[in-house]
Structure 1
Amino acid sequence: MRELVYTGFMSLDGVVDSPGGTQEGHRSGGWVMDTPFVPEAFALKGEELESTTALMFGRRSYEAFAPVWKDSEDHAAYRDLPKYVVSSSLPEEALVDGWGTTTILRSTDDVAEAKTTAGGAIFIHGSAELARRLSEARLIDRYHLLVFPVLLGAGKGLFSREDLEKQALTLRDSTAYPNGIVKLIYAVG
């Protein structure tokens, strides 16, 4: 069974949207850039590249990332990786050419089926609403979070606020950096 890993930047109060800019209309967009840069705090992203065998996005994150990441030298390692887009409405003709094989998954059941295919870890970038749905369906196996020392008060959260059955997490790794960022890696279960 392939692991499904959510990776992302999060504020201390759980907001994950608009970390690099105001694309989603969040008034505090770009909050990652407001934290002093410490290279070792972002080493997790390089480590993830080594174990990523496929990428998964929700429709909106795919539409935002694909045109930019396709030609980005910072994301060159992702170019030829298989990609999954989870969307009930994205048409096939909207997929970006020249960015590896991309498969549209139409449901949570399709995601569960993709986890049974051969291969290694599938990483989800951005895609807060997708991650929340997959967490509720008990499909996420690991969380890689860089928690930033900022309170935003509003924005998309990663985790559901529904009254759901408790999910135990096991801390696999953590590091605090001098700029206030904390790396947290949790396995589910």
Structure 2
Amino acid sequence: MRELVYTGFMTLDGIVDSPGGVVEGHRGGGWVFDTEFVPEAYALKGEELADTTALMFGRRSYAAFAPIWPGSEDHAAYRDLPKYVVSSTLDDDALVDGWGPITILRSTEDVAALKEGDGGAVFIHGSAELARRLGEAGLIDRYNLLVFPVLLGAGKRLFTDADVDRRNLRLRESATYSNGVAKLIYEVVR
């Protein structure tokens, strides 16, 4: 069975919206770059490369990353990995060329079937709404979070505020850094 891992940047109040800039849609966007750069705080991103065998995106995150990541040297290690885009509306002709094999999954059930197959960890980047839906369906196995010392108040949240059944997490690893960023890696207890 494959492991499904959400990896992302989050504010202390749980917002994952627009970490890279206001062009991503949130008026407070760019909060990652407003935090002092401390290399060791981002080491998790490099460590994840060894575990990543495939990437998964929701439609909007795919549309944001696909024009940039294939030519980005910062993301070169991801270039040839299989990609999965979960969307009920995306057409095959909207997929970019030269970014490894890309498969469209149409439903949560398709994601569950992918997890049942052979292979290593699949990492979800961005895609807050997808991650929230998959988490609620019990499909996410681990959360790799870098929590930033920022409060935005409103925006996309990784976790629902709806009344759902309790899900327990086990802290696998944590660290804090001089810039106030905290690394929190949680496994979902089954």
Report the TM-score, using the length of structure 1 for normalisation: 0.99
CA offsets per residue over residues 119-168 of structure 1, 9 Å max, x none?
10000000000000000100000000000000001110000111110000
Shift, 1:118, TM fit:
1.3
1:131 aligns to what?
Answer: 131
1:144 aligns to what?
Answer: 144
AA of the residue aligned to 1:60: R
1:7 aligns to what?
Answer: 7
Q: CA RMSD in A?
A: 0.5
Separation in structure 1 between the aligned mates of residue 184 and residue 101 of structure 2, nearest angstrom: 31
AA of the residue aligned to 2:62: Y
Shift, 1:23, TM fit:
2.6
Give percent identity, aligned residues only.
75
AA of the residue aligned to 2:51: S
Separation in structure 2 between the aligned mates of residue 104 and residue 27 of structure 1, nearest angstrom: 31
Shift, 1:57, TM fit:
0.1
Count of residues paired in the alignment? 189
Task: In structure 2, list runs of 5 or more residues that go unmatched.
Answer: none
AA of the residue aligned to 2:57: F
Runs of 4+ in 1 over 4 A off after TM superposition: none
Map 1:1-189 → 2, pairs under 5 A: 1-189=1-189
Shift, 1:22, TM fit:
1.4
Separation in structure 2 between the aligned mates of residue 23 and residue 104 of structure 1, nearest angstrom: 26
CA offsets per residue over residues 86-105 of structure 1, 9 Å max, x none?
00000000001110000000
1:85 match: secondary structure: strand
Report the TM-score, using the length of structure 2 for normalisation: 0.99
Separation in structure 1 between the aligned mates of residue 32 and residue 24 of structure 2, nearest angstrom: 15
AA of the residue aligned to 1:73: E
Shift, 1:24, TM fit:
3.0
Separation in structure 2 between the aligned mates of residue 40 and residue 57 of structure 1, nearest angstrom: 26
AA of the residue aligned to 1:168: N
1:170 match: secondary structure: strand
AA of the residue aligned to 2:70: K
AA of the residue aligned to 2:139: L
